[in-house]
Amino acid sequence: MNITVKFFATFRRGREKIVNIEVERGSTVKEVLDIVKIEVDEIAILLVNGRDGTIAQLLNDGDTLSLFPPVGGG
Amino acid sequence: MQGYNGKILRINLTTQSVKTEPLDLVQAQKFIGGRGLGSKILMDEIDANIDPLSPENKLIFVTGPLTGTATPTGGRYMVVTKSPLTGTVASSNSGGYWGAELKFAGYDAIILEGKADKPVYINIEDEKVEIKDASSLWGKVVSETTTELERIHGSKVRVSTIGPGGEKLSKMASIMNEKSRAAGRSGVGAVMGSKNLKAIVVRGSHKVEIANPEKLKEVFSRCLSQIKENGVTGQGLPAYGTAVLVNILNENGALPTNNFQTSLFEKADDISGETMAEKFLTKKEACFRCPIACGRVCDMDGVEVAGPEYETLWSFGSDCGVSDLGEIIKANNWCNELGIDTISVGATIAAAMELYQRGYIKKEDLGDGPELIWGNAEAVVEWTKRIGLAQGLGAKMAEGSYRLCEMFGAPELSMTVKKQELPAYDPRGIQGQGISYATSNRGGCHVRGYMISPEILGLPEKLDRFSLEGKSEWAKLFQDFTAGIDSVGLCLFTSFAMGADDYADLYNAVCGTEITGNDFVQAGERIWNIEKIFNLNAGIDSSQDTLPKRLLKDEIPEGPSKGWVTRLDILLPEYYIARGWDQLGIPTSTKLEELGIDSKLDSTKV
Ligand code: SF4
């Protein structure tokens, strides 16, 4: 299945802003993170289709993951 | 008592009298300083029903006990007055260096009364205070005024000034210090303009006395490590400023777009902090003693200017459908130069665009101005200028979005609370922010209880942004805590890394007191309650604790927050209970007694 991963702030260093990856059906967020080489503890905000996501969450075909490192408020 | 200078400067501009008075230290401790002390003074000294732009209104510049001390971000000051935009108490916070300099000059606050018969400015050098002619400065933009005053009084002075916006009494006028730091909201600059006061120049040579310097060093270094280690204050804000929020809010589907008609902006990335850092950022800037340095300096056609904050990227950007970051930087710079508030100005242009879209504003109303069409960046820059200079339709827009929409017969298109423009977070997708907006004592505002912190950023813990459970209690706590921070003299951004006990420890080290974190938050609650009493006495009752109809009735039409409205029907009654107020949102006598508040509710008003 196809998953879109969007990177923000410092996660864009050395990466594209957005990538599409093929993963096996039944993959979790964690498995996608391993592929894009982002450690769980680097992430401050993790959204799946714009909603709060979890590491163990099962993904569906066409899902979008948005990943943010610690960022500012204000 | 250390921390406080113990001295207030009272200047009557009508009679030109200048007096110093002792600070009432009992009141000062009860209301901390800054926003709290200023509100208490305003409450005691003016009738809440006066016209905000009349000589009867007072304009109070007030520091906190930590302003000017070796504490992280200890340079903030507040401008407190009755707002011409909202009719509520106004307290606008600013950073930079001016507030600390006022402390060094030996004062905790300046109370300005009356009205000068011609333009004047005030020059303060420690004990020497002069009221000087400002005829040659009147009409000048902020940078020119500041440079000219520095030329006259020396480059070491600090200048706080209004621009043409304040002179022309725009209800969105700000007061600017060090050229680009703004006491931005609620039209405080118009009150200064109404007094014919152009600027206040300060130079001080005293140090703020500290009760326990050893303890302060220890608490300071602890707080500093917390700030450095915290992801938001140690990495996020220094790297991207507040601008990084554009993409975050948009990914959540809560970035208001086209005057809140939707909440998803296709071109968000073009106006994001990431794009700003990549294409426009030249350097960072910090306020007095700030280890965070969230300020941005950007390139504007070869000139270095202050960069826009998140709220500004939103107001001139997605709220107007504009994706040209270079033009947003220009509009932001015009706001700084003309002394007008970026949030209110951008949001008012967005409202004007919707009035134009729906045919309320007609082509002939525009005069020779550019068309108010979504996405027209040139229009945003040009109308900003015309608002600041009160030209043509710009003069009507300078009254703010609510009055503009009312003039054109469509008040429901104004996205305001208590007539103040809402900022950059759609409360339909962030329920706790909705209750915080609706109950803010100065109208539409994000820094009166920044629920974005738990609901979006996950600090101090992540709350489900759609859930209603406990949100009213959270909002109350954030409101009270923030009132404390605004009063002590530190920047609100420290609260991402610091808790109530940290502020109490800093306060104790500086002032020699022994308050607890709970006392600190309770002082915040006391402040919140007197602000509310002022508003009730001014005739602004709880029927105004609400949101624009669009946010209560029209669901967000697309994106991750699709289908949501703000559930104020549930949140508001819970909020009043959390506050210990009655069902009509009036503080009960039990609550006021508990908080030791002697200010009276005007029984003819409530
Ligand atoms: S965090 Fe930003 S606004 Fe606050 S004091 Fe520091 S530089 Fe100024």
Q: Which residue of A has its CA nearest to B249?
A: A50
pLDDT digits (tens, 9 = 90+) for B46-88: 999 999 999 999 999 999 999 999 999 999 999 999 999 999 9
CA-based nearest residue to B479, from B497, B461, B492: B492
Per-residue pLDDT, B601: 80
Per-residue pLDDT, B199: 98
pLDDT at B458 over 80: yes
CB B284 within 8 A of CB B339: no
Burial class of residue B380 in the structure, from the number of CB atoms within 10 Å of its CB (0-12 exposed, 13-18 middle, 19+ buried) = buried
Which member of B236, B253, B560 has the closest CB to residue A72? B236
Sheet holding B77-82, edge to edge: B17-22, B7-12, B109-113, B59-63, B77-82, B89-94
Domain ranges of chain A: 2-68
CB B112 within 8 A of CB B530: no
**B209-213, B544-548, B583-587, B601-605, range with the lowest pLDDT:** B601-605
pLDDT digits (tens, 9 = 90+) for A3-35: 999 999 999 999 999 999 999 999 999 999 999
Binned at pLDDT 50, 70 and 90, residue B600 comes out as confident
Binned at pLDDT 50, 70 and 90, residue B311 comes out as very high
pLDDT digits (tens, 9 = 90+) for B491-539: 999 999 999 999 999 999 999 999 999 999 999 999 999 999 999 999 9
Percent of chain B residues topping a pLDDT of 70: 99
Percent of chain B residues topping a pLDDT of 90: 97
State the Rg of chain B over Cα: 22
Quote the CA–CA distance of B535 and B496 in Å, as a whole number: 29
Binned at pLDDT 50, 70 and 90, residue B603 comes out as low
The reply to whether residue B458 touches residue A12, judged by beta carbons under 8 angstroms, is no
Query: Left if phi > 0, otherwise alpha if psi is -120 to 50, otherwise beta: which for B260?
Result: left
Substitution candidate for ligand 1 out of B223, B294, B297 with most atoms within 8 A of CB: B294
Per-residue pLDDT, B212: 97
- CA B277 to chain A, closest CA, distance in angstroms equals 9
> Helix, strand or coil for residue B442?
coil
Per-residue pLDDT, B606: 58
Mean pLDDT of B385-403: 98
pLDDT digits (tens, 9 = 90+) for B223-279: 999 999 998 999 889 999 999 999 999 999 999 999 999 999 999 999 999 999 999
pLDDT digits (tens, 9 = 90+) for B83-99: 999 999 999 999 999 99
Phi then psi for residue A39, to 5 deg, are -75, 145
Per-residue pLDDT, B605: 62
Tell me, in angstroms, the distance from the centre of ligand 1 to residue B606's CA: 39
- Long-range CB pairs of B513-522 (<8 Å, 24+ gap) are B513/B29, B513/B211, B520/B32, B520/B484, B520/B488, B521/B477, B521/B480, B521/B481, B521/B484, B522/B480, B522/B595
Quote the CA–CA distance of B536 and B586 in Å, as a whole number: 8
Domain B7-203 is in which class?
alpha beta
Mean pLDDT of B206-231: 96
The reply to whether residue A6 touches residue B465, judged by beta carbons under 8 angstroms, is no
Give B96-110 as a DSSP string: SSHHHHHHHTT-SEE
Structure token digits, residue B60: 């109070």
Strand runs labelled E in chain A:
2-7, 18-22, 45-48, 51-52, 64-68
Residue tagged 């008609």 (tokens): B261
The reply to whether residue B458 touches residue A8, judged by beta carbons under 8 angstroms, is no
Strand runs labelled E in B28-163:
59-63, 77-82, 89-94, 109-113, 120-125, 128-133, 158-161
pLDDT at B324 over 90: yes
pLDDT at B139 over 90: yes
Tell me, in angstroms, the distance from the centre of ligand 1 to residue B449's CA: 18
Whether complex ipTM tops 0.95: yes
Q: Which residues pair with B12 in a beta bridge?
A: B17, B113
Domain A2-68 CATH (choose: 3.10.20.30, 3.90.1410.10, 3.40.1710.10, 3.40.50.970): 3.10.20.30
Question: How does strand B7-12 pair with strand A18-22?
Answer: unpaired
Mean pLDDT of B343-348: 98
| List of chain A residues whose C-beta atoms are within 8 Å of the C-beta of residue B245 | 71-74
B256-283+291-415 maps to CATH 1.10.569.10: yes
Per-residue pLDDT, B17: 98
CB B166 within 8 A of CB B189: yes
Substitution candidate for ligand 1 out of B232, B240, B290 with most atoms within 8 A of CB: B290
Structure token digits, residue B528: 């919140």
Residue tagged 């003309």 (tokens): B338
CB B511 within 8 A of CB B1: yes
Per-residue pLDDT, B602: 73
Mean pLDDT of B370-399: 98
Quote the CA–CA distance of B160 and B61 in Å, as a whole number: 10
Q: Which of B185, B227, B235, B447 to mutate to test the interface with A (most CBs of A within 10 A)?
A: B235
What residue ranges line ligand 1, CB within 6 angstroms? B 73, 95, 286-287, 290, 292-295, 491, 493
Cis peptide before B460 (omega within 30 of 0): yes
Structure token digits, residue B530: 């007197």
For chain B, residues classed under CATH 3.60.9.10 are 7-203
Binned at pLDDT 50, 70 and 90, residue B578 comes out as very high
CA-based nearest residue to B18, from B132, B158, B130, B159: B130
CB B472 within 8 A of CB B437: no
> Helix, strand or coil for residue B133?
strand
pLDDT at A73 over 80: no
For chain B, residues classed under CATH 1.10.569.10 are 256-283+291-415
